[in-house]
């Protein structure tokens, strides 16, 4: 199955839900009028796009319809796709293709698929010919270390770990030292997902980043937040909360294949001004894909 087919297949539930609501409105109305825009806004909100983003999309759509004298609902459908893609592309920033070590800090609450995403990401980078290492800095949960070891084995990459309850900073220190010594291209760091104690988590992440800055000043750094697409608007709330704790560079969205709530991707891109970097569209180890907004919208419609 090709890249786009896999995306289309993974988005099936979201696509069906989205089209049922949005196309349902467009099919009923033949002419473009205020009632159509109101119904369309309602349909987007119901499709998990969120109130703020739905209002913004419809405002842009009204302006475009006026400007371009769109009178047919079919033309409006094409314009709607364009506007959603534009909205999602506004915050996309290209990753620097710097040589040398790249350190990716992965954050997110427990249960969103953080450790699984790290394993799949490791596999993805490895299949691109990169030397990858993992750091088990979520020392709070013994299960997290064991789980990461399983993924390291599955994807055939090295892992640096300490015992449960160890200082996450010392794990990161050892991992950065090992990554430099072994000429690794990518070091992916798993972190604790304790959002109920925001202050502690903030301090922990600051400390980890400080160690990376000190031990590998030339490395490129990225903080990625893992969100579970099946939680819909709750994923948006988590993005807001983590945004208060850390400077996030992008999102990894998991379990898109198991939900009809994938419309939340549009809200996250727009309201949090964050690019979605990777999406999980299946159970397999190779089901982590680079996110492409144009392909997403194409698959959605």
How far apart are alpha carbons 101 and 208 in whole angstroms? Answer: 16
Residue-level pLDDT at 26: 86
Residue-level pLDDT at 24: 86
Half-sphere exposure of 142 (CA within 13 A, CB side): 2
Instruction: Please give the C-alpha separations between residue 216 and each of 75, 103, 208, 210, in angstroms, as whole numbers.
Output: 53, 9, 12, 10
Nearest to 113 by CA among 244, 256, 289, 223: 256
User: Are 72 and 32 within 8 A, CB to CB?
Assistant: yes
Helix (H, G, I), strand (E, B) or coil at 145: helix
Could you please state the CATH topology (level 3) that the domain comprising 102-300 is classified under: Rossmann fold (3.40.50)
Residue-level pLDDT at 94: 62
Along the chain (301 residues), what's the average pLDDT of each consecutive run of 10 residues? 73 84 85 91 90 95 94 89 90 67 93 91 95 95 90 95 93 97 97 77 90 94 91 84 88 82 84 88 82 86 80
Residue-level pLDDT at 249: 93
Could you please state the CATH topology (level 3) that the domain comprising 3-89 is classified under: 1.20.120
* Inter-axis angle of helices 73-89 and 264-271, nearest 10: 50
Q: Where do the structural domains in the chain lie, given as residue ranges?
A: 3-89, 102-300
Residue-level pLDDT at 198: 75
Residue-level pLDDT at 274: 87
Q: Is 244 exposed, middle or buried (0-12, 13-18, 19+ CB in 10 A)?
A: exposed
Q: Do 102-300 and 3-89 have the same topology in CATH?
A: no
Residue-level pLDDT at 1: 58
């Amino acid at each position: 199955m090709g890249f786009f087919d896999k995306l289309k297949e993974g988005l099936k539930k979201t696509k069906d839900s989205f089209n049922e609501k949005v196309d349902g409105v467009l099919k009923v109305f033949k002419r473009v009028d205020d009632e159509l825009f109101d119904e369309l806004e309602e349909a987007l909100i119901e499709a998990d796009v969120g109130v703020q983003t739905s209002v913004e999309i419809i405002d842009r759509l009204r302006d475009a319809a006026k400007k371009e004298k769109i009178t047919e609902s079919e033309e409006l459908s094409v314009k709607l796709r364009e506007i959603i893609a534009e909205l999602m592309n506004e915050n996309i920033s290209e990753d620097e293709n710097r040589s040398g070590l790249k350190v990716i800090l992965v954050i997110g609450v427990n249960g969103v698929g953080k450790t699984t995403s790290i394993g799949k990401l490791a596999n993805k980078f490895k299949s691109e010919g990169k030397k990858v290492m993992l750091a088990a800095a979520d020392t709070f949960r013994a299960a997290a270390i064991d789980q990461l070891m399983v993924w390291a084995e599955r994807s055939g990459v090295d892992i640096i770990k300490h015992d449960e309850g160890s200082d996450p900073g010392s794990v990161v220190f050892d991992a950065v030292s090992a990554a430099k010594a072994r000429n690794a291209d990518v070091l992916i760091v798993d972190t604790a997902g304790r959002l109920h104690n925001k202050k502690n988590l903030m301090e922990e992440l600051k400390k980890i980043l400080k160690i990376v800055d000190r031990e590998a000043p030339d490395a490129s750094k990225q903080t990625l937040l893992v969100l579970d697409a099946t939680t819909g608007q709750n994923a948006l709330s988590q993005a807001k909360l983590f945004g208060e704790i850390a400077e996030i560079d992008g999102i990894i969205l998991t379990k898109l294949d198991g939900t009809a709530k994938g419309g939340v991707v549009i809200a996250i891109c727009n309201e949090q001004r964050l690019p979605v970097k990777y999406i999980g569209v299946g159970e397999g180890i190779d089901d982590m894909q680079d996110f492409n907004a144009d392909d997403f919208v194409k698959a959605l419609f």
